[in-house]
């Protein structure tokens, strides 16, 4: 394979294009040209530990010259030849002449991304999303600032870019990722303090506000783990174990998140209106808040929940109730969730625990519907399609008719995107959903 294809002249004359592209030097070294004109060195090699192809970003040009980049590649190839994984040989890489102490936020990100993100985030989609958020919101505002001069107000400019665009969940994710990155630097004495230390989630996405509660990805994962634990119940005479929530309630909760349905629609769900073969759930007009029949496309995630729910379903209603109506109260799920969260002055005679406390504060069943819509939005689904998925009523009759006829494929895509995100986040549902047996 030919090597040393690049020249400094060719690198300097390389111009940004509509999409990112690479100039290859050969042998595993390439220069990635970003849309904003930034030029980042990338090294590829096969890890002797995993046998997988590794892509490592070592810094930007001209901070790292062509000669230095070639030397960095040579050091890594030498280590691989000795069956040493470069990812686990930082001291040897330092000795190879590559300056590993970052001077700017951009340089810190490249090191943190390589050593922390690529090591701890197994999903390549997650890795790409973190890089994308950094390049879109953070790099333009603080990328070139020296580490010793980064201030809280400058970091907030990046977060405010997402807030001003209405991407509240993204704003919170940016805050969390920057906090991890800066703490990584503080631990290595590359910085004296973390500029995000005094920034709260309320300053970022503002999700703690009443009526705007959205569960973050971390909270959804934490919720899965909490519900998967069997807490001990001790008395003077015995120790027993039981689930945090009854299986029926937990499945209703995951069904709400997977379908973005209203509490009353879940409570009154009829067995005959779930068409598994067609992958749809039909909500009749008399149940829907806007009095319009609604079709919910069932993703693979939703179908996994349904396969368990079906085993618990009553003859008519899935969630059989004791009252005259025949189905459970639409308030039952939220009541059970509330009884397991911190709250002042619990009603007399009602037990109250803190099992379901989450970092972002109190949450309800309806917040799961809002969270589902937010996940769709973050996946690039248009607001019009999300409104259709939520069965929001459009006051314009012409628009309403057109969307009923033309947007079913887009709605299916939206629900599939929601389900795919939940599977990626939580793992295959068959591995952790509660058994209905």
> Is 254 a residue whose pLDDT tops 60?
yes
Percent of the chain with pLDDT over 90: 32
> Tell me: the pLDDT tens digits for 79-124?
787 677 776 555 445 444 444 678 899 999 999 998 888 877 666 7
> Tell me: the pLDDT tens digits for 285-319?
888 877 788 999 999 999 999 999 999 888 889 99
Q: Provide Rg for the chain, Cα atoms.
A: 26
> Is 405 a residue whose pLDDT tops 60?
no
Q: Rounded CA gap, 194 and 152, in Å?
A: 9
Burial 321-357 (b: 16+ CB within 10 A, else e): eeeeeebbbbebbbebbbbbbeeeeeeeeeeeeeebb
Residue 341, token pair as written in the block: 């969260």
- Residues pairing with 46 in the sheet: 53
Mention every residue, 6+ apart, whose C-beta is less than 8 A from residue 103.
Answer: 146, 147
> Tell me: the pLDDT tens digits for 330-372?
889 989 998 888 876 555 666 667 888 888 888 999 999 999 9
> Is 260 a residue whose pLDDT tops 70?
yes
Are 312 and 247 contacting, i.e. CB atoms less than 8 angstroms apart?
A: yes
Using pLDDT thresholds of 50, 70 and 90, give the confidence band for residue 399: very low
Q: Rounded CA gap, 217 and 95, in Å?
A: 39
Query: Residue for token digits 């062509």?
Result: 66
């Amino acid at each position: 394979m030919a090597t040393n294809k690049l020249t400094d002249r060719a690198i300097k004359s390389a111009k940004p294009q509509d999409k990112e592209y690479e100039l290859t030097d050969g042998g595993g070294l390439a220069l990635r040209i970003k849309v904003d004109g930034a030029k980042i060195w990338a090294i590829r090699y096969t890890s002797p530990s995993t046998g997988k192809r590794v892509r490592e970003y070592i810094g930007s040009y001209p901070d790292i010259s062509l000669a230095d980049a070639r030397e960095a590649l040579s050091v890594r190839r030498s280590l691989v030849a000795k069956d040493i994984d470069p990812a686990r040989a930082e001291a040897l890489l330092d000795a190879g002449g590559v300056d590993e102490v970052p001077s700017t936020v951009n340089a810190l990100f490249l090191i943190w991304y390589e050593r922390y993100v690529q090591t701890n985030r197994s999903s390549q989609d997650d890795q790409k999303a973190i890089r994308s958020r950094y390049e879109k919101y953070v790099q333009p505002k603080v990328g070139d600032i020296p580490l010793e001069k980064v201030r809280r107000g400058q970091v907030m400019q990046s977060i405010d870019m997402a807030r001003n665009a209405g991407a509240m969940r993204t704003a919170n994710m940016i805050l969390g990722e920057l906090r991890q990155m800066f703490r990584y630097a503080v631990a290595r004495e590359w910085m004296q303090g973390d500029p995000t230390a005094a920034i709260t989630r309320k300053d970022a996405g503002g999700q703690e506000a009443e009526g705007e509660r959205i569960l973050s990805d971390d909270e959804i994962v934490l919720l899965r783990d909490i519900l998967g634990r069997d807490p001990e119940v001790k008395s003077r005479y015995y120790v027993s174990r039981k689930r945090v929530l009854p299986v029926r309630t937990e499945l209703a909760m995951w069904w709400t998140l997977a379908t973005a349905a209203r509490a009353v629609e879940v409570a009154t769900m009829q067995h005959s209106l779930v068409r598994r073969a067609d992958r749809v759930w039909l909500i009749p007009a008399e149940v829907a808040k806007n009095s319009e029949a609604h079709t919910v496309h069932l993703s693979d995630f939703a179908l996994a929940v349904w396969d368990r729910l079906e085993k618990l379903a009553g003859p008519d209603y899935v969630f059989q109730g004791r009252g005259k109506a025949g189905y459970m109260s639409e308030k039952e799920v939220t009541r059970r969730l509330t009884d397991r969260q911190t709250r002042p002055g619990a009603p007399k005679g009602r037990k109250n625990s803190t099992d379901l406390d989450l970092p972002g504060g109190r949450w309800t069943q309806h917040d799961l519907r809002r969270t589902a819509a937010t996940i769709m939005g973050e996946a690039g689904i248009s607001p019009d399609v999300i409104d259709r998925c939520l069965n929001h009523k459009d006051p314009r009759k012409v628009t309403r008719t057109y969307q009923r006829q033309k947007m079913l494929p887009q709605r299916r895509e939206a629900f599939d995107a929601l389900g795919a995100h939940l599977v990626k986040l939580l793992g295959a549902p068959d591995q952790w959903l509660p058994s209905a047996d």
